[in-house]
Amino acid sequence: MNRQLIVAGNWKMNKNLMEAFTLASGVLAKAKKMSNKVEIVLAPPAPYLHTINSMSKNIAHVNIAAQNCHFEPSGAYTGEVSAEILHSMDIAYVILGHSERRKYFQENHEILAKKVSAAIRAGVKIIFCCGEPLEVRESNTQESFVLQQLEESLFHLSETEMKQVVVAYEPIWAIGTGKTASPAQAQDMHAFIRTQVATKYTTELADACSILYGGSCKPSNAAELFAEKDVDGALVGGASLKAEDFLQIIQARAKQA
């Protein structure tokens, strides 16, 4: 397998400055000694991006992600951060399409397509989240739901641009609920996503595209998820807020590298 293995921690709107510093220090101190086969990505709240990026600069397999960006490069958009600003700060990734952004900030397919283009334009890589709500899973229409998310917000990218994208499959019913998709459910959807990428682009690109699982991933279930052949890593919410738990998930990924 020639895909990058990745474990990313989405801190969301958590941790004050001192707590963020403590968490980042705890993760980085151990990360330094860990296998460089697993790329570690930390997505702290925006005000901490610069400091935590500086703290991680000497560890090549650690990168930093923003949790959002605006689609315009600059201008009168009070409170917003552009992909160009992130790039100027040397931030490697931006998370786009997270279900919380879709739900609480009305980010629809069209807005997300513009944000995806903006990140590519600025040279910031993307962790693109997709995933279905419970009622869609219960009606067994999750594949067409996820395909629409990909088609309407991501698949306008060229083949070269698509190489800058990591996909995160995050079933909404598993986010922050303690309910994890079974390894088989995750594998089925990851394989489906990979097939769609192959159909739209090429098999080579699909084979090289990292697809992460997100949704109550924790030390107790990480290994079984990572045992699935199309699960290349995880986007972790709650469990990324405790250094020890997050590090255990990284270890689980490294063991199966």
CA distances from 37 to 7, 13, 19, 93, 130 (A): 11, 29, 28, 18, 25
Residue 121 phi/psi, 5° resolution?
-55, -40
Please tell me the number of Cα atoms within 13 Å of 130 on its side-chain side: 28
Pick one of 237, 247, 252, 253: the residue that binds ligand PEP (CB under 6 A): 237
Strand partners for 233: 6, 212
Pick the closer one to ligand PEP by CB: 170 or 232. 170
Six-digit token string for 240: 């990324």
Burial category of 21 from C-beta neighbours within 10 Å (exposed 0-12, middle 13-18, buried 19 and up): middle
Pick one of 6, 175, 181, 222: the residue that binds ligand PEP (CB under 6 A): 175
- Binding segment for ligand PEP (CB under 6 A), chosen from 65-73, 76-84, 192-200, 215-223, is 215-223
Of the listed 98, 132, 190, 228, which one is catalytic?
A: 98
Told to judge if 109 belongs to the known catalytic residues of this protein, a careful annotator would answer: no
Pick one of 214, 226, 245, 249: the residue that binds ligand PEP (CB under 6 A): 214
Residue 215 found at the interface with ligand PEP (CB under 6 A) = yes
Pick the closer one to ligand PEP by CB: 5 or 84. 5
Say how far apart CA 3 and CA 110 lie, in whole Å: 29
SS3 228: coil
Pick the closer one to ligand PEP by CB: 171 or 201. 171
Residue 176 found at the interface with ligand PEP (CB under 6 A) = yes
Told to judge if 98 belongs to the known catalytic residues of this protein, a careful annotator would answer: yes
Pick the closer one to ligand PEP by CB: 206 or 234. 234
Binding site for ligand PEP (CB under 6 A): 10, 170, 175-176, 214-217, 235-239
Query: Catalytic amino acids?
Result: 98, 170
